[in-house]
């Protein structure tokens, strides 16, 4: 995997960036501009690295930033919350003057440290990651839940590079009892309900919330590194769904 972004860019961008006070600030990225309204932006030219950065701010506290880092042939972009990369970051390469999605890396904040959570690589089919590369999960259940059923079923498939991780998920999947959990620092000590993983597949059945609205089901599973004894890494899952 190529390294497109260095965390220390954040320091230079926030401290030395040039502020641009403008109205109707746009990133020129449709999926972002149709959802978010930015009030300010800062720019910085990383000359030695051959990169140019722009930070788009949602509020005056500058704690929620959409950051875009560009070079001649690569663009990386995603959210920075309190100066830590979080959520899905997209890495795109330029092919014949057009940007193509190369990978999506999901970052998560654990104990105020930036951790890589999942990694998806893409080939020609941008709707589906390349199997047996990186590590990620896909949810087959519809995001919109309707009807009068009292239970919800999620079907989840797990994918990872078997050259890096052992094909062994016997420790199962664990759903947090506290679904309002936002700090995963002590995730291993949280009360949880366990579900078995068979053939890299999880079937999760939970009570359906009584009120309509958007929800996130949170949990985790552990994958084990090959060639390193008792070395596991967590994958935090956040399954979004909508009760109508």
**Measured between alpha carbons, how far is 135 from 210 in angstroms, rounded to an integer?**
34
With CA atoms as reference, report the closest residue to 6 among 44, 51, 41: 51
DSSP 25: B
In total, the chain counts a number of residues equal to 244
DSSP 38: B
Work out the mean pLDDT of the chain and round it to a whole number: 85
Mean pLDDT, to the nearest integer, of 114-142? 91
Residue 163, SS3?
coil
**Contact by Cβ (8 Å): 23, 41:** no
Give the per-residue pLDDT at 3: 45
Instruction: Using alpha carbons, list the distances in angstroms from residue 10 to 49, 81, 112, 171.
Output: 14, 11, 15, 37
Q: How confident is the model at residue 129 (pLDDT cuts 50, 70, 90)?
A: very high
**Contact by Cβ (8 Å): 231, 225:** yes
Kindly state the helix (H) or strand (E) to which residue 103 belongs, with its residue range.
Answer: strand 98-110
Tell me which of 51 and 207 has the higher pLDDT: 207
Q: Which residues of 125-134 are buried (b: 16+ CB within 10 A; e: fewer)?
A: eeeebeeebb
CATH class of 136-243: mainly beta
Kindly state the helix (H) or strand (E) to which residue 13 belongs, with its residue range.
Answer: helix 8-16
User: Does residue 189 register a pLDDT over 80?
Assistant: yes
pLDDT, tens digit, 9 for 90 and up, residues 92-106: 998 877 889 999 999
> pTM of this prediction?
0.86
Query: What are the residue ranges spanned by the domains of the chain?
Result: 8-121, 136-243
**Measured between alpha carbons, how far is 180 from 168 in angstroms, rounded to an integer?**
29
User: Does residue 2 register a pLDDT over 50?
Assistant: no
**Contact by Cβ (8 Å): 229, 197:** no
**Contact by Cβ (8 Å): 40, 54:** no
């Amino acid at each position: 995997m190529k390294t497109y972004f260095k965390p220390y860019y954040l320091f230079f961008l926030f401290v030395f960036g040039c502020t641009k006070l403008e109205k109707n600030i746009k990133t020129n990225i449709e999926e972002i501009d149709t959802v978010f309204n930015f009030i300010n932006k800062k720019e910085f030219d990383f000359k030695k690295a051959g990169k140019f950065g722009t930070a788009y701010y949602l509020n005056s506290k500058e704690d929620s930033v959409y950051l875009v880092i560009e070079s001649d042939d690569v663009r990386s972009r995603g959210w920075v919350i309190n100066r830590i990369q979080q959520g899905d970051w997209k890495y795109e390469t330029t092919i014949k003057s057009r940007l193509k999605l190369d990978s999506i890396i999901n970052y998560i904040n654990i104990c105020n440290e930036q951790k890589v959570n999942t990694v998806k690589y893409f080939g020609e089919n941008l709707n589906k990651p390349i199997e047996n590369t990186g590590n990620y999960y896909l949810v087959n259940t519809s995001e919109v839940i309707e009807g009068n059923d009292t239970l919800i079923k999620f079907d989840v498939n797990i994918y990872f590079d078997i050259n890096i991780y052992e094909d062994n998920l016997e420790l199962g999947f664990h759903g947090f009892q506290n679904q309002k959990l936002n700090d995963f620092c002590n995730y291993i000590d949280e009360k949880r309900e366990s579900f078995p993983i068979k053939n890299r597949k999880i079937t999760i059945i939970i009570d359906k919330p009584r009120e309509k609205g958007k929800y996130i089901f949170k949990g985790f599973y552990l994958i084990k590194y090959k060639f390193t004894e008792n070395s596991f890494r967590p994958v935090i899952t956040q399954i979004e769904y909508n009760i109508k």
